[in-house]
Structure 1
């Protein structure tokens, strides 16, 4: 059986800590990165990552730029990205999906909703 490894990319360590705790309790293996570039570096090195939870609003390389770069890389373009954002305004969901995300979840995260989304891709 493949390991259900999730990469959490978020510039807020509290969000990473909370998501990791919840997901590990549900049997997922988690890795984390504190920015878009670090997330891409981890994806290049670890080919076992099944899904990326990508914070969209980060300093430096944000989630939109990271997803754009993933889409241009043949080895990364098929890894599903779920957009995680505090931006829950009209049009934000569509903007994330148009940028390449397979799903969208707003903060604070509804764990049941996140689990349903993850089950679609794991």
Structure 2
């Protein structure tokens, strides 16, 4: 079975780069340009194993989207890995406290991301 990963990011360059790296490692990627679209895809695709969530997006940001996922009985079991350009002291804790199971800062360390995906898929 293909390992489905949902990438939620408002920047097409990030989506393109992440998708290329993950596809090369055998993952099937779905993408959404924002939190609301991502939650819609999660509801439609029961095979999604993990979400890579950009935390800083216009409209519904990653924190709000994680909260919505956690509120849904059908979705709250799906692990969310925070992906953010913010690498300040306290950002990792803020993401984890918001409900993310892991945290990766941009530019993304592919080995770090892959080990997180293996852990949650």
Q: What secondary structure sits across from 1:50 in the alignment?
A: strand
- Tell me by how many angstroms 1:12 deviates: 0.1
In the TM superposition, 1:1-122 aligns within 5 A as 2-122=1-121
Q: What secondary structure sits across from 2:36 in the alignment?
A: helix
What root-mean-square deviation, in Å, do the aligned CA atoms of Structure 1 and Structure 2 show?
A: 0.5
Work out the CA distance in 2 between the residues paired with 1:82 and 1:27. Answer: 18
Mark the runs of 5 or more structure 1 residues left unpaired by the alignment.
none
- The TM-score, its normalising length taken from structure 1, stands at 0.98
Number of residues of Structure 1 aligned to a counterpart in Structure 2: 121
- The TM-score, its normalising length taken from structure 2, stands at 0.99
Work out the CA distance in 1 between the residues paired with 2:43 and 2:111. Answer: 30
- Tell me by how many angstroms 1:3 deviates: 2.3
- Tell me by how many angstroms 1:14 deviates: 0.3
Extract structure 1 runs of 4+ deviating beyond 6 A. Answer: none
Work out the CA distance in 1 between the residues paired with 2:96 and 2:77. Answer: 14
